[in-house]
Amino acid sequence: MAAVAQSDAGRRPGETLRASSVSRAFEGVQALRGVTLTLARGEVVGLIGPNGAGKSTLVNVLSGFDRPDEGRVELADQDVTRWSPHRRGRKGLARTFQHSHAFRGLSVRENVEVSALGVGAGGREATRRADALLARLGLDRYSDAPASALAHGDERRLGVARALATEPSFVLLDEPAAGLPEAEVPDFAALVRTIADEHGAGVLLIDHNIALIMETCERIQVLDQGQVLAEGSPAEIRANLDVAAAYLGETPVPEE
């Protein structure tokens, strides 16, 4: 498959995306309670927790689709708490969504081109990025098909392609493996590692596929009832009895 080009122009090694003491409530329900999360470039961090733990709210706060009641968000040492999603995107932050946000009337290639154009790429460069990404993600055979024709798993891949077309410094992958056949999960895990290892982007991976999280992430943060329950390496999270009781089951997850 074709490699995905990445430009680091104007971006510094050591940059971080950080949420500091973030709290958010909706009609009296406390979705987040003083949550702090740091993501460095080149790092893959997993974010897990039960349904309703606050994961999607935190991703929305990080990406600018929601604002915290308290706390702040910093991108490359700059306070972006009140920045729009588009402005954060031009600064190097990209995300996917649990539900497809594709332009269903456009072709698959055009969907990816639009993302590249949105961060200032020219027409030829947008097409180059789109073709490389679609090949990398196994979607090139659908390039000229309307996005509405894609199967659910392929829609997920298209979301990843659209995010990567912005050549981000940080990418938030919200349930990217949902709907993927189990046989395709290892290839997807390799892609996530490529984003970090070869292209230097920080990746926040939110997924219910625990095997994917454990295999791919060097650090995992666990939310429960809007608070940070635990943080550590996959081995530390496997062995954490609080995590096992709250999310993974009644006993720690055995090593494979």
| pLDDT tens-place values along the chain, 256 residues long | 334 444 343 344 568 999 999 999 998 899 999 999 999 999 999 999 988 899 999 999 999 999 999 999 999 999 999 999 999 998 999 998 877 678 888 999 999 999 999 888 999 999 999 999 999 888 999 999 999 998 877 888 888 899 899 999 999 998 888 777 788 888 888 888 888 988 889 999 999 888 899 999 999 999 999 999 999 999 999 899 888 887 655 444 445 5
DSSP string, 93-106: EEE--SS----TTS
pLDDT of residue 14: 60
Under 8 Å between Cβ of 218 and 44: yes
pLDDT of residue 9: 37
pLDDT of residue 100: 67
Rounded CA-CA distance 39/201 in Å is: 10
Rounded CA-CA distance 45/221 in Å is: 7
**For residue 173, which of 91, 95, 111 has the smallest C-alpha distance?**
95
Going along the chain from its start, the domains and CATH numbers come out as 13-92+168-256 (3.40.50.300), 104-167 (no CATH)
DSSP letter, residue 30: E
Rounded CA-CA distance 12/137 in Å is: 27
Under 8 Å between Cβ of 44 and 217: yes
Rounded CA-CA distance 193/188 in Å is: 9
pLDDT of residue 222: 95
Rounded CA-CA distance 96/167 in Å is: 14
DSSP letter, residue 133: H
Rounded CA-CA distance 159/182 in Å is: 19
